[in-house]
Chain A
């Protein structure tokens, strides 16, 4: 058993070596978490495991037994936010028009959300350090940094 966005799932019958990424995408239909490299290099598959950002492509199901996973689809509802409300980072991403192709952005948001949990007022250096595991092929880094700062300075997280 494991929890995804608050709902329990069983993965009986699945090879325990299957990476979490493919269970999310193919079995549970949660396709917001993306495949980019499969070897923990790009960060497109970033989800939270008990609040910590991890690479779903390189996390076998055996490692998530009994654990709680949050994906981009569950980010808005974190912290008991009302249905339809967005996480402040999601709103900032829209306000700053961060995405280009958008493919990396779920992973970027999940990493940024975890950063603000532990460091509500990050410096540029904190942001660079936390975010440098997430690649953006389109080069939206300038705006990601801005959007994170905007949320941090707004006092929300």
Chain B
């Protein structure tokens, strides 16, 4: 890896859910939480701000959100201020951009914040916002949004490999159980046993309500800095050791196989190779479970199991505490909700907190050293992966 080493040295999140708060109020709340969580952080030292926000124009009728977020958070960036947009991966894009800037020496101390306000007075209007993530004039008029697309993915996986609704429900049950230990999760106080999940109404067959992440308001922020300054903020930095991204189509006609996520195989390989580790070295992973079938295919594409075995991997609890590695201990998108721009930041924050053994025992990975964070965006046409290593004394 060239350039300076870069680490996440702190962070904070708002409560995720249906919030009686505006976009700006969520940004303020994340800023306030960040300065409380990282007492050594001084606003005047933050030279750059990266704002992950997928659709503020659609959801909040607000453009030019980078300076808006800076003002809300009490920051005056002097080196790089920008918004990053990559739909569901907008938050990870903010972190990746901050990492690149610091590694290159263009920034010394950056904040990556993700903000999304998704619950609108009109649910249909919010659904339209989700619809224009697709190739709007071609796929949009047919009613393409994420649920029917991922439903087709699930249908093909069931057809090709015999994956079952019960296996899908196993993913949802696990992630909702983890969310019960995360007060910031949208479904912190709701339980979803498997039999209940299997009785929930269909949204897009074969996917039921419990197979789908929800429309969520929320914000989260992390601080990144270089090896020279990391010790000022924490003795357990989460070092960025690898990144990978891959995009190979946009229109649904060009998706190719729905069940072999080539893009994730490439992005995962690149990130792990850069870190110099194998997928077996991972102690925990935050995988993009926008739908239950996504997590199942992600197990396969990352090489945690063979193609077609993701359903069994889930049902056998290999992604739970005590399994091969801990997957989505935060509660995942299914349990936390999915405020598009905030999700990737919240996942990275979980990694930082896991490395400090600072999460409740019910979801703590045992003494984790290596973690992977994955986001897909749109119709799984882009995959973004980052690999982190715990710093400080073991």
Q: Do A and B bind each other?
A: no
Chain B residues proximal to chain A, CB less than 8 Å: none
Chain A positions within 8 Å of B, measured between CB atoms, are none
